[in-house]
């Protein structure tokens, strides 16, 4: 793309206070006090709620004079009823802030619960469409402290939450600038217990965020630089984190890469995500794994628009091959190394709903950031390619 003065325009902002390092979860009570939160509701998933890390944090908060209740009725792909139940718990407990603790599902749900605490309109009125976020009462948004326990979504530094509409089986993005957590605690030790398949799937999610942000056809050199460095960290450290689950350096570098992905994708996402969202909504697949499956098919489709960027990226990453083919080869190698499926059959997804999913993907908010314009027929073709394993 030729660079012009008219193209060099954008609205840029970067995120929040991050306390990064092993052992920094000990600062949770201090973070609550610094944020003015006296009675937080800790929102997490059912599995994490049973673990010592959550119980110990609640006990430490209690000892520090910050009484904390736990809400954990969150599905792996959170739905509207989870948010409604969380709101009920928030109000019943007279809470004044949220600790969103966990992977992307818990972080997203926690942020949306905090967002909805003081709203009078239905949640879907704040979907990330145009300026719908201006409908919200900003004074009715509770503060959030985010504690990620995976290295993938980067939701801890994001201003949105993805919630599934059970009535339409669609994933919707709820957005507001004040949904950004006021403090993030990134403690790599909290990710040590992740099994290899979750470590790899969430790591591929971080890669997808950085990769699509870098490919998005908008002018945002800050985001581009962060995206490229995030991909370098993934290349160097994701295989180590999977092979050596107790390696805190690798875990820490992947936590940084995950946050960097979410910082960079304020520039935009693309067809990897627009294809993945309907699959996750209809088949309840893991988001990062689904992104990993679609990644090479979308790269191949976008070839004409991303050739120059992929040549640069392949040089920075020191890949065996240069250009688009080199980046595709790298992503395929990563999937094989981690035992991930090559096609949709590996996700137990067949062709019976392709037309419905293509139409859903075409109106997904991420579709507009794809470097090559997509529509339902194109997206259906990409689903077909991903089913048959055709990387063209």
Reported as type and span, the H/E element at residue 175 is: strand 170-175
The whole-number pLDDT of residue 356 equals 97
Provide the residue count of the chain. Answer: 392
The whole-number pLDDT of residue 14 equals 73
The whole-number pLDDT of residue 3 equals 65
Cβ within 8 Å of residue 223, ≥6 positions away: 12, 213, 214, 263, 264, 265, 266, 267
> Is 70 exceeded by the pLDDT of residue 270?
yes
- Check: CB of residue 232 under 8 Å from CB of residue 254: no
The whole-number pLDDT of residue 13 equals 61
Q: In what order do the strands lie in the sheet with 97-102?
A: 17-20, 183-186, 144-148, 97-102, 40-43, 69-71
43 vs 77, 130, 248, 330, 345, CA distance in Å?
A: 14, 29, 25, 36, 34
Taking residues 328-355, report their average pLDDT. 97
> Is 90 exceeded by the pLDDT of residue 190?
yes
Q: Give me the residues paired with residue 355 across strands.
A: none
**Comparing C-alpha atoms, which of 239, 220, 190 is closest to residue 13?**
220
> Is 90 exceeded by the pLDDT of residue 15?
no
Q: What are phi and psi of 94, to 5 degrees?
A: 55, 45
Q: Where in the chain is the domain with CATH 3.40.50.1970?
A: 17-191
Strands 160-165 and 69-71: unpaired
Taking the domain 17-191, which CATH number applies?
A: 3.40.50.1970
Q: Where in the chain is the domain with CATH 1.20.1090.10?
A: 196-388
What number of other Cβ atoms are within 10 A of residue 245's Cβ? 16
> Is 80 exceeded by the pLDDT of residue 263?
yes
> Is 70 exceeded by the pLDDT of residue 12?
no
> Is 90 exceeded by the pLDDT of residue 193?
no
- If you classify domain 196-388 with CATH, what class do you get? mainly alpha
- Average model confidence (pLDDT) for the chain? 95
The whole-number pLDDT of residue 6 equals 79
Instruction: Give Cα 189 to chain centroid, integer Å.
Output: 20
Taking residues 3-28, report their average pLDDT. 82
pTM: 0.93
> Is 90 exceeded by the pLDDT of residue 170?
no
């Amino acid at each position: 793309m030729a660079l012009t003065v008219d193209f060099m325009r954008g609205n840029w902002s970067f995120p929040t206070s991050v306390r990064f390092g092993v052992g920094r979860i000990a600062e949770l009570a201090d973070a609550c006090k610094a944020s003015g939160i006296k009675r937080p509701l800790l929102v997490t998933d059912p599995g994490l709620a049973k673990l010592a890390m959550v119980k110990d944090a609640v006990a430490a908060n209690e000892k520090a004079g910050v009484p904390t209740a736990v809400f954990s009725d969150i599905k792996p792909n959170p739905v509207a009823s989870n948010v409604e139940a969380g709101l009920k718990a928030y109000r019943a407990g007279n809470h004044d802030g949220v600790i969103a603790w966990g992977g992307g599902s818990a972080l997203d749900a926690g942020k949306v619960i905090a967002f909805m605490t003081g709203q009078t309109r239905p949640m879907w009125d704040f979907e990330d469409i145009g300026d719908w976020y201006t409908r919200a009462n900003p004074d009715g948004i509770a503060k959030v402290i985010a504690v990620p326990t995976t290295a993938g979504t980067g939701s801890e530094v994001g201003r949105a939450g993805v919630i599934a509409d059970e009535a339409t089986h669609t994933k919707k993005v709820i957005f507001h600038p004040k949904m950004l957590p006021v403090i993030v605690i990134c403690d790599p030790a909290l990710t040590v217990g992740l099994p290899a398949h979750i470590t790899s799937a969430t790591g591929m999610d971080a890669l997808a965020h950085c990769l699509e942000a870098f490919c998005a056809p908008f002018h945002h050199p800050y985001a581009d630089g962060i995206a490229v460095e995030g991909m370098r960290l993934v290349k160097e450290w994701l295989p180590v984190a999977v092979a050596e689950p107790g390696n805190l350096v690798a875990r820490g570098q992947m936590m940084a890469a995950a946050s960097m992905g979410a910082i960079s994708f304020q520039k935009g996402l693309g067809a990897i995500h627009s294809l993945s969202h309907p699959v996750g909504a209809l088949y309840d697949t893991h988001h990062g794994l689904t992104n990993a499956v679609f990644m090479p098919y979308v790269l191949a489709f976008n070839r004409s628009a991303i050739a120059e960027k992929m040549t640069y990226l392949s040089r920075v990453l020191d890949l065996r091959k240069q250009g688009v083919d080199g980046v595709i080869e790298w992503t395929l190698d990563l999937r094989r190394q981690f035992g991930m499926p090559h096609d949709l059959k590996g996700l137990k997804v067949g062709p019976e709903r392709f037309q419905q999913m293509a139409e859903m993907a075409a109106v997904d908010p991420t579709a507009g950031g794809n470097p090559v314009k997509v529509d339902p027929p194109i997206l259906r073709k990409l689903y077909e390619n991903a089913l048959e394993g055709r990387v063209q």
